[in-house]
Every structure is written in structure tokens, then in C-alpha cells.
């Protein structure tokens, strides 16, 4: 029996030594990497120009009709809607202004404008071009025409915006007189977006 005992003990030593050798070069368990907190970048909210708005304007106009000219103030009200596409803004506006201008014996009473608008969103500043239909009423009658111009608005955090707008106005064959009424107006504007 001593041979069997020697064989069993020898086999146990060989198996144990072989198992130890097998584990000697085995990979170690991976240690988890330390968690590094990423710095939080503050998100700056941009100015959203989307939505309806209304406001008032006060301005000055220089007008010509058949060789006669006149200058005077205008005041008005407007309402509109803009949609902000990110860097660009598109919208429309309806405006009515009253005029205090007489051109060659013709008193300009009031004007309505329906304008489209396309602009660049520069955060709180909106730079835009505008064009559309215009209708004017005077002591000699009324007339249809067009309006085109440029403007700029600055919007505060509370939805209030202030701005300025330059417009060129033209009415061919105004009040069936055969004369063209043209005018350049500049207006200061204040509006509220809701």
C-alpha cells in the first residue's frame, strides 16, 4: 500500500502545483476607474422671438406728391406674429398710423400697412427687412401702394421690445390724380410679446 499511498500523495502534489502554475499568469480582476465629475456648463437661454405681439409707434415722415412736398409726424399702433427658426425670424404685421402731414394742399389722414418680415436673430437684437401692401387715406381720396424697409428691435427679459423702423412708401396714381405719392418714414417703436 505504500505505493498507492505514494502515488496518491504524488498525484495530489502534481495537481496542486499545476493549478498554482495555471493561475500564476492569469489576468487580475480590473479595478474600476475613478469617477471624475464633468464641469457643468451653464446653459444660456436665447431670446425667443416667437409669438404674437402688439405695440405703438411714433415717427416722422417726408412726403412728395406731384412736385409738392410736406413733412410731419405720425403715430400708430400695430400687431403681429413672429416665428423664430433659430438664427432667422419670419412674421407678419398689421399697422395703422395717423398722419399730421399736408402735401400740396392734400392732407394725409392715415395709413394702413400689411407687412411681411424676415430677420436675423442676434439674441436680444432682431435685425429685419420688411415689405408689403399699404393703403393711404387723404383729403383728396385714397390709394393703394407698397411699403418696404428695414428695422431693428431689442427685446428685454420681460417681453418688452423697443426698436426703430425705416420705411419707403409709394402709391402710384394716388387718389386717381395721376400723381405718385412717395414717402420716407422713420419710427420709434415699443411692443410687448406674449
- Residue 186's SS3 state is strand
- As a whole number of angstroms, the distance between CA 128 and CA 77 comes to 19
Please, which pLDDT band fits residue 123 given cuts at 50, 70 and 90? Answer: very high
Position 10 pLDDT exceeds 90: no
Please give the average per-residue pLDDT across 146-152, as a whole number.
Answer: 99
- As a whole number of angstroms, the distance between CA 63 and CA 168 comes to 10
- As a whole number of angstroms, the distance between CA 128 and CA 167 comes to 12
Domain ranges of the chain: 51-193
Position 18 pLDDT exceeds 50: yes
Please give the average per-residue pLDDT across 139-166, as a whole number.
Answer: 97
Please, which pLDDT band fits residue 67 given cuts at 50, 70 and 90? Answer: very high
- As a whole number of angstroms, the distance between CA 50 and CA 70 comes to 38
- As a whole number of angstroms, the distance between CA 53 and CA 191 comes to 7
Q: What is the pLDDT of residue 34?
A: 76
Q: What is the pLDDT of residue 44?
A: 47
CATH of domain 51-193: 2.40.160.20
Kindly state the percentage of the chain with pLDDT values over 70.
81
Please, which pLDDT band fits residue 83 given cuts at 50, 70 and 90? Answer: very high
Amino acid at each position: 500500500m505504500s505505493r498507492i499511498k505514494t502515488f496518491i500523495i504524488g498525484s495530489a502534489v502534481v495537481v496542486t502545483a499545476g493549478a498554482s502554475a495555471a493561475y500564476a499568469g492569469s489576468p487580475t480582476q480590473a479595478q474600476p476607474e475613478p469617477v471624475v465629475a464633468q464641469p457643468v456648463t451653464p446653459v444660456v437661454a436665447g431670446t425667443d422671438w416667437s409669438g404674437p405681439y402688439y405695440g405703438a409707434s411714433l415717427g416722422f415722415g417726408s412726403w412728395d406728391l406731384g412736385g409738392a412736398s410736406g413733412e410731419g409726424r405720425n403715430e400708430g399702433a400695430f400687431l403681429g406674429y413672429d416665428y423664430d427658426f433659430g438664427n432667422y425670424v419670419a412674421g407678419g404685421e398689421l399697422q395703422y398710423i395717423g398722419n399730421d402731414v399736408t402735401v400740396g394742399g392734400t392732407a394725409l389722414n392715415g395709413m394702413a400697412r400689411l407687412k411681411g418680415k424676415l430677420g436675423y436673430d442676434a439674441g436680444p437684437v432682431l435685425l429685419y427687412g420688411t415689405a408689403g401692401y399699404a393703403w393711404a387715406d387723404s383729403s383728396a381720396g385714397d390709394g393703394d401702394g407698397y411699403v418696404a424697409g428695414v428695422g431693428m428691435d431689442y427685446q428685454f427679459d420681460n417681453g418688452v421690445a423697443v426698436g426703430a423702423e425705416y420705411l419707403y412708401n409709394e402709391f402710384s396714381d394716388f387718389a386717381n390724380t395721376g400723381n405718385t405719392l412717395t414717402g420716407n418714414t422713420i419710427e420709434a417703436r415699443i411692443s410687448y410679446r406674449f
